[in-house]
Amino acid sequence: MCAWDNQGNAFSGCANGSIFKWVDRHAVEAVEAHKGYIGAIRAINGMLFTGGQDNKVMIRNSADMELNKTIDFNSRALSIDFLNDKFLVSFRDGDIIEINGEDIEGKKTLMKSHDNGEVWGLADCGLSHIATTGDDNKVMIWDIDKRVHALSKVVSDEKKNSRKGRASSVSNLPAS
């Protein structure tokens, strides 16, 4: 993974969680950042944003590589982008979250989805809601009118003797 800042410096994120800063063709600085690989990196307006396998997004000053802030999430970041004072982070679990500037408490989930394998079930729940289920062992309820995710439930947290694709159908019939 790599990114460039407005001054022409390059930054590379490594499989071991380190970040290298490059000037011309020379590595001039390295910091140990994440535990595990870096899966997302973006530099903008003097800041360097990285997302790692450790489910953290780190914000650094791109000039001196000093850590300004660490934000913990429930999944690893896959991409980071910006629009005005907001930044967007997409995650392995299917979420896309908007963060308003430095206000990490003001996180807003823009999108949710199933996160592992395929969606296997779809049912009309009435009252403008549908339910989906899939290989991720979740049943998710969606509000069709508002076009938003309304609720998620894990079908089972039992791991022993479970097969891939644990939640494979949805029905509004009681005997199903």
Query: Which pLDDT value is given to residue 158?
Result: 63
Query: Which pLDDT value is given to residue 54?
Result: 96
Query: Which pLDDT value is given to residue 67?
Result: 95
Range 2-111: architecture per CATH: 7 Propeller (2.130)
Q: What is the pTM of this model?
A: 0.73
Give mean pLDDT, residues 38-44. 93
Tens-digit pLDDT profile for residues 54-110: 999 999 999 999 999 999 998 899 999 887 788 889 888 888 888 886 666 778 888
* Burial (CB count <10 Å: 0-12, 13-18, 19+), residue 116: middle
- Check residue 62 and give left, alpha or beta (phi > 0: left; psi -120 to 50: alpha): alpha
pLDDT band at 170 (very low <50, low <70, confident <90, very high): low
Query: Which pLDDT value is given to residue 103?
Result: 66
| Average pLDDT value over all residues in the chain | 84
The β-bridge partners of 58 are 50, 70
The structural domains of the chain, with segments of one domain joined by +, span 2-111, 115-176
